Amino acid sequence: MNYEQLGLKMGLEIHQQLNTEKKLFCPCECELTNKKPDYKLLRYLRPTQSELGKIDRAAFEESRRKLEFVYESYDHETCLVEADDEPPHPLNMEAIEIALIIASLLNMSVVDEFHTMRKQVIDGSNTGGFQRTGLVATQGHIETEYGTVVIENLCLEEDAARRIGEKKGKTIFRLDRLGIPLLEVTTDPSMKHPEQVRDVAYQIGQVLRSTKVKRGLGTIRQDLNISIAEGARVEIKGVQDLDMMPTMVEHEVQRQVNLIEIMKELQNRNASVNDEIYNVSGLFEKTDSKIISKALSKGGTVLSIKLKGFRGLIGKEVQPGRRFGTELAAYAKKMGVSGIFHTDELPAYGISDEEVKNIEDKLELSDMDAFILVADNEEKARNAITEVQRRAKISILEVPEETRKALEDANSEYLRPLPTASRMYVETDIPTTVITREYLENIQKNLPELPEEKRVRIIEEYKLSNDMATQLVRLDKADDFEVIMSQTNLDPTTVGSTLAYTMKELRRDGHDISMLDNSSLIGTFALVEKGKIAKDAISDVLVGICKNMGSPEQTANQLNLTMLSDEEVEAIIDDLISENIEIIKERKMGAMGALMGKSMQKLQGKADGKLVNKLLKDKIYNIIN
């Protein structure tokens, strides 16, 4: 695909949770919990008129779904601020400080005053119907091989409540996540190369990870804005894998190009969407379709609409494995139905040729026309098919602006319309925070080292291999490595390999490596230094510590891993030599390899390999000479 010709433009929006002691506007801890909630709040949110007097498009759409919201709350993990029953406490300055560090690393201009604003959000994820947010910095930049990318804004905001699920039309949220400080980094939408988006996301990630941010699944969320000249701006939410970004861009461009092609064909055919909704339940009294008969038996309805000039286009693929019909169905599904049936896939799914013909007769379809079916309870079915009608009408005119959800196969799925900008107003409960030049300069004097800088430095300073240094930085173990190195005389490679590789293996084997703090690692390394255990025994001692066997020394003793004295080692080797005297006579020095293996097996890590090697070599030499 020629992206340049298509006028491809992309931007990124990255949300990162900060690892502060407390939440942004209350003293609760920033930890998620899986405990049973102590109580539940029930709320019903409606859109309010924002300052500009316009109801936000996305907000309005959500309210049409008439959802009630349940909030799972706790006596200790959450407080009245999350429940919106108490005004917010003063802004958490630790969060501001981290935001200022990140802003400085991204070369941004910091604001003089931080104003807390309210951003209207009525999908229920905020108990107050708004999210608190404020601008920290603007106009930064990142260099890429395709040119400079502008970082437009950096905002500090509250994370939303955690969506747990849905039950009987009520959406259930947990309040533990609400209020965790969250940074929003937005680039300008000027990126033109899919690889450039990945690079910028990677670089921003590196900057974030050089500071106190949360790690792990769900703590960073990446959204991708994509548009092409003839298409529309689309925001794909929740892109997990950076390496998938270029493919995701490709699939979205493909989708828009195909939708444009469908649009042009519809215009050529003079296509239109009839407003009428037909009740066709009567045509399905004896149907073999499980979905339809189930809906009817519950007192539901089968509704149909007529799409003039659409035949053959609904089944057209727009993204790998996803058809134009999938796009229509996504709008229906947002209204709570499980899906739609359309002309281009019928007869199928138990719907017979005769039933198809009956609908075509009733709707007076020509052979260029298509129909859509939805079966569910009357209200849901009507809302769903109205949405399909709306989407189908748009398809004749343009590619719609949408917020979409990233799927694991690099495709995406319709989530809601793209929010309009009119949804910010001032939070009057929180005073302005002045950011003085002195305060900022102090922060900028002590900026952290970026992960990449750290990687290069530790290779140089400790003579580590490239892979080991990369692993240490990636696993966030480089700081621990340096702390341990300052307290041990052991060689850097042994320490590095324990942190970069051994611990990973232990975790993979199911051991509780949270027991392995720096002091128990330093204690274990000290045993090697003092000659009490062999290097080879490090991993066994660590396993013992994970199993709660006590201090490194106690563990080594209990596991019988302490080194043998030189005399004990020599005695064992003498035994081995007399057992293998024939082999030695036959192979001479060539017997070294076999005997070395046997000795190490017998000594089980309780002797130094170098000593064993030397003893063997001397003794074999003496025998054959």
Helix, strand, coil fractions of the chain, as percent rounded to 5: 40, 20, 35
The answer to whether 522 touches 536, Cβ cutoff 8 Å, is no
Residue type, 521: L
Q: Which is nearer to Zn ion, 28 or 70 (CB)?
A: 28
Q: Which is nearer to Zn ion, 82 or 223 (CB)?
A: 82
Which residues 6+ apart lie within 8 Å of 317 measured at CB?
Answer: 258, 323
Least separation in angstroms between residue 91's CB and Zn ion is 14
Least separation in angstroms between residue 181's CB and Zn ion is 12
Joined together, the tokens standing for residue 384 give 């769903």
The answer to whether 352 touches 359, Cβ cutoff 8 Å, is no
Q: Which is nearer to Zn ion, 81 or 410 (CB)?
A: 81
CA distance 138 to 109: 5
Three-class SS state of 448: coil
Least separation in angstroms between residue 499's CB and Zn ion is 36
Least separation in angstroms between residue 432's CB and Zn ion is 22
- Give the footprint of Zn ion on this chain (CB under 5 A): 26, 28, 79, 81-82
Pairing of strands 170-174, 68-73: parallel
Evaluated on CA atoms 14, 17, 20, 23, the torsion sign reads positive
Which residues 6+ apart lie within 8 Å of 413 measured at CB?
Answer: 330, 404, 405, 407
Q: Which is nearer to Zn ion, 161 or 200 (CB)?
A: 161
Q: Which is nearer to Zn ion, 82 or 608 (CB)?
A: 82
Least separation in angstroms between residue 25's CB and Zn ion is 8
Question: If we measure between CA atoms, which residue out of 195, 205, 207 comes closest to residue 244?
Answer: 195
Least separation in angstroms between residue 77's CB and Zn ion is 8
Q: Which is nearer to Zn ion, 25 or 310 (CB)?
A: 25
The answer to whether 396 touches 354, Cβ cutoff 8 Å, is no
What is the 3-class SS of 374-398, one letter each residue? EEECHHHHHHHHHHHHHHHHHHHHC
Q: Which is nearer to Zn ion, 82 or 252 (CB)?
A: 82
Least separation in angstroms between residue 96's CB and Zn ion is 18
Least separation in angstroms between residue 74's CB and Zn ion is 9
Q: Which is nearer to Zn ion, 28 or 406 (CB)?
A: 28
CA distance 122 to 126: 7
Residue 428: count of CB within 10 angstroms of its CB: 9
